[in-house]
Structure 1
């Protein structure tokens, strides 16, 4: 993975997603989740687009044999709906593959597969005040890409 994009993405997700919770779920060809921070109104609009059907939910810290698995859309939707009352307490992106690890207040972690040969697995879109849209995308080939409407934002995020 591109080290600079990984560093920017890691900083953005930990800064803006921690403390949020699921506010809205949209179901189209993929699942889209909008997040809200009820305790900090300065947090920007954030959405996570899940385009993969491979997830894991459980304790990744103490379980050495966890694995993402194919999950039917109905089961994915049910799981995400049950998580809407929990706050996100930690977020990280895998180093070898761009899996997205979202830890909730229950202590359990939702792992969204980021490894696909042909398709984007997930994307996070953030509208940052006065800075524009930023997208973090798990792209094919175990890569991560960060796009911003204002490229100076990306430079500033890595040097703060």
Structure 2
């Protein structure tokens, strides 16, 4: 009799314990989700540590090689969202007001090296014209133009996303 009562009690206890589900995620699962989405990185934790001389060199390289299409200050073409007669799009801004920040550094570097993106724009490839270091330096200057909230969003959701 004692064994039957103990078995019933333990069974009821286990059923009750397993059926309780919290209405909101627990702190642990919430913090895991925040880390995945990059929300656990406070804005003050994201510091741009670009070397001012690299920024200046990147600006010079950009103005020498890229400004003819993207503008002296990476402002792009005013009607960059409107396709041209050939169906391709004009050069977009790279200063944080368009979509450049939707791409990782490696993707941006690939666009510069190979041109493109394929079928969407008319940007030529710069492979063999600009060195990898020059492209990296240009990208530092471009990222230095992005507003803090754009840079933070890019860093947490694009550049630093789990692979």
TM band (smaller chain): under 0.3
What TM-score do you get using the length of structure 2 for normalisation? 0.25
Give the structure with the larger strand fraction: 1
Larger radius of gyration: 2
Give the structure with the larger helix fraction: 2
